[in-house]
Amino acid sequence: MKIAVIGSGYVGLVAAACLCELGHEVTCVDNDREKLQLLEQGAVPIHEEFLPELIAHHHRKQLRFSGNLAEAVRTSAAVFIAVGTPGKENGEADLSYVESVTREISRAINGYKVIITKSTVPVYTNQWIGQVLLLNGAQPGSFDVVSNPEFLREGKAVTDFLYPDRIVIGTNRDRPIRVMDEIYAPLTSGSYYKHPDAIPAPDHFNGTARVIFTSAASAEIIKHAANAFLAMKISFINAVANVCEAVEADIEDVCRGIGSDTRIGARFLNAGIGYGGSCFPKDVAAFRWISHNYGYEFSLLNEVERINHECRTRFIQKVRSALWTLKGKQLGVLGVAYKCGTDDIRESPALAIIQELLQEGAQVKLYDPAAMERARKVLGARVTYAQDAYEAATGADGLLVLTDWEEFRQLDLKILRTKLHYPIVVDGRNIFSPDEMAEEGLIYYSVGRLPVNARRMVASSMGRAS
């Protein structure tokens, strides 16, 4: 099928590449000339596993990039809208990009088209898209609008698209269902998974791609509700971590205990400095606004947000506890991306913590495996940039772990100890074992676990001596 994808951000670019992988011919449209030029040259503007390989394989074959939206719509049977829906100060989603694209689509329709919203949008957006299409000249019966929300984790977006937990298709009409069935047939039939060059399957994949058909309104709610629930799960375990610290329990033990319950599950039960990124903060705020706008005060989401922001405050307090004062302190910082596997620093708790440390007069030497260039654009010359984790630690009064990159888990603690000025590590992601840190003579603070401090180290050494 010939498909147009409007927008070349995280969702649009991944969707375009993966739809090509399924055998479709895709035109990815954007109005950013600089980005289009980079894409035409084969550059990939985001850090995403498998995405460079897919784009390199399909570029100038099944995949093309264009700034001509009208042409892409005229030559396509299906049009995915994957433009940004940034949040306003009150939490409401800004749908101006969606509306602008919709007006352009209406003027280009030259036959029956299925218009598919991939962007995260509030309930009734599909209904409004239909009205805007008609008001701007599209003929009744020349289109259908379908909600097909994305459930892509940054860093695992390609795998999530090709090996989905579920494909949600929201429409109140039968005709577009046939088009959507054809688009996703290689996944629902399993034919893609038999291909020898298919992207490797994740461990948890059960061999089938499940499709859930709903109304458009239900599909729009599903996306917001899913992200709000996952954000709630993160905030819940961080609140439990606070209790663990107060009563000297271990959050890792608690996570194992409750995560083994199949009704709860272990995923997203990782205590730390809170959630961030382009989805959870925006979608929680948007879902709260939607609920309020339609007469329900979803106060639980207020608490989810409060706990999430409190995680950063409590982490700064840990750093103060470890170093006494922050002004003039040299801090090594590992990680600025909001999570491992991506270079995205939007709403990153790591970035917010770094900015707070700078405001308090600390000096920061930063290293991140993927997000350094994005960090430079925001932090500029206010921080020093290291070539690797060991350089970030060299001469530091304390080392902070803010992103859970696997590279950091593999660090040689003996070498790390020799690099630090003071043997202090404050771990916001719980990537190290307290016992291993104590064995290497490191003073170690983490989240929801007892600190390995100087007194414990001295007591331990005295016990061994006796």
> Which residues are marked as active site?
279
Q: Look up residue 333 and give its amino acid.
A: V
Query: What is the four-CA torsion angle of 353, 283, 168, 156, rounded to 10 degrees?
Result: -10
Cα(223)–Cα(119) distance, integer angstroms:
10
Which strand (E) or helix (H) includes residue 455?
helix 454-465
Q: Look up residue 65 and give its amino acid.
A: F
Task: Please say whether the beta carbons of 334 and 389 come within 8 A.
Answer: yes
Cα(321)–Cα(453) distance, integer angstroms:
11
Q: 10 Å Cβ neighbour count for 262?
A: 7
Task: Please say whether the beta carbons of 323 and 397 come within 8 A.
Answer: yes
CA 291 to chain centroid, in Å, comes to 23
- Bridge partners, 424 (sequence order): 443
Cα(419)–Cα(183) distance, integer angstroms:
54
* Burial environment of residue 202 by CB neighbours within 10 A (0 to 12, 13 to 18, 19 or more): exposed
Sheet containing strand 398-401, strands side by side: 384-385, 363-367, 330-334, 398-401, 424-427, 443-445
The DSSP call for residue 143 is E
Cα(3)–Cα(252) distance, integer angstroms:
46
- Report residue 395 as tokens: 């001469």
Task: Please say whether the beta carbons of 411 and 393 come within 8 A.
Answer: no
Q: Which residue has the tokens 């609920």?
A: 291
Per DSSP, the three-state class of 293 is helix
Q: 10 Å Cβ neighbour count for 194?
A: 9
| Helix, strand, coil percentages, rounded to 5, for the chain | 45, 15, 40
Q: Which residue has the tokens 């090509």?
A: 20
- Report residue 372 as tokens: 């350094």
Output phi, psi for 33, to 5 deg.
-65, -40
Q: Which residue has the tokens 């608490």?
A: 303
- Report residue 428 as tokens: 């916001």
- Report residue 7 as tokens: 């927008």
Q: Which residue has the tokens 């058909």?
A: 213
Q: Look up residue 339 and give its amino acid.
A: K
